Amino acid sequence: MHTVAIFTFLAVSTAHMIIETPYPYGRDSLTNSPLDPVGADFPCKQRKGVYDPPLLSNPEANKFAAGDILELSFLGSAVHGGGSCQISISPDRYPDKNSAWKVIHSIQGGCPANVDGNLEPENPEGRDAARFSFHIPESISPGLYTLAWTWLNRRGSREFFMNCAPITVTAAKNHRTFPKYTDLPDMFIANINGCMTPEGVDIRFPNPGYSVDFRGNPSNLMQIGTLVCRDATGKGPVAGAARNVSEFSRPTSMLTVNNSPSTTSAFVVTSYSALVNLQKSNRIKEACTEGFWKCIDGMTYQQCASGSWSTPMMMATGTSCIVSTGHELIIDINKPGMENT
């Protein structure tokens, strides 16, 4: 009876989540509900005033240099046991159903928070959900874009949430190797298109891209190779591994090193830029989750032991790893050459 009561609360609660930053389009008309079950309001919760500009005290609050560390934050309390989220961008300032969306960051588990149910107390304006760091790849050309946050919840009804924000991207301050816009993976869409995700697990995206966070309990995370969603015929895409920056142009063989810790806690994964700086200086002390792996820059990695990160270690000759932090170290055994963009 207790389990049923919790499920009912999750299903009927109206205090869902919206993004606070980046500042979304149409804040006055933006509700915290999921998209229509058949996708009638895709993308961006189509409605009157959907693309009204944010009312910003600082007109440059949604202006970012490619490569800078940005923050995704939320308002609300009904996090439905967390789930998995993606951050995507479109070159269309006012997107429609034909717009292309490319993923720049995936959060697999623990988004918007790593809890079993909802945050307490119930508060549609609450700020107790997790905050997430991400960055726009340096290869993205300066210009006007629309950023989207999408969320597939772990607990409750099978839903798809989406908020959009207008952003301005300026030239990168640094120039490193990143996939071109056209090589980024497409946004993953489910639960509004007849392909339904399983309840009770944090999904892995079929192609999460090169920038990935693992923020939930490892025991909740879908296994690689599992069907992410099923259509009426029982078919669907399978959960994939994170991808290296260097492998977007051609396929490679991948293997995964697993190490499931006995306990887990919330942690914040910094951007690619911050990880590289950490490797170079080796002066910053980060708290970490026991047994977790960190691929720093594709060539060096660490493991958490006794509450702190080990000294950075070089990958074996002929291999590289996927830039990420979590209970997996994903290894590219072909290590193709990188392309500077």
The per-residue pLDDT for range 40-87, each reduced to its tens digit, is 999 999 999 999 999 898 989 999 999 888 999 998 877 878 899 999
Q: Write out the two tokens for 308.
A: 């702190």
Query: Residue 89: enclosing H or E segment and its boundaries?
Result: strand 83-90
DSSP string across 3-58: HHHHHHHHHH----EEEEESPPTTGGG--SSPPPTT-TTTTTT--TTTTPPP--SS
Does the pTM of the predicted model rise above 0.85?
no
Give, as one character, the DSSP assignment of residue 221.
B
Q: Which of 10-24, 153-167, 286-300 is predicted with the least confidence, judged by mean pLDDT?
A: 10-24
CA 47 to chain centre: 25
pLDDT single digits (tens) 57-70: 898 999 999 988 89
- Strands 102-108 and 212-213, by their bridges, are parallel
Which of 165, 189, 188, 145 has its CA nearest to residue 36? 189
For domain 2-240, the question of CATH label 2.60.40.10 is answered with: no
Number of residues that this document lists for the chain: 341
Q: What pLDDT score was predicted for residue 254?
A: 31
- d(CA 305, CA 301) in angstroms, rounded, equals 13
pLDDT single digits (tens) 227-258: 999 999 999 999 987 665 444 333 233 333 33
**Confidence class of residue 190 from pLDDT cuts 50, 70 and 90?**
very high
Residue type, 114: N
Domain spans of the chain, in order of start: 2-240, 246-341
Q: What pLDDT score was predicted for residue 208?
A: 92
Q: What pLDDT score was predicted for residue 282?
A: 39
Please give the biggest Cα pair distance in the chain.
58
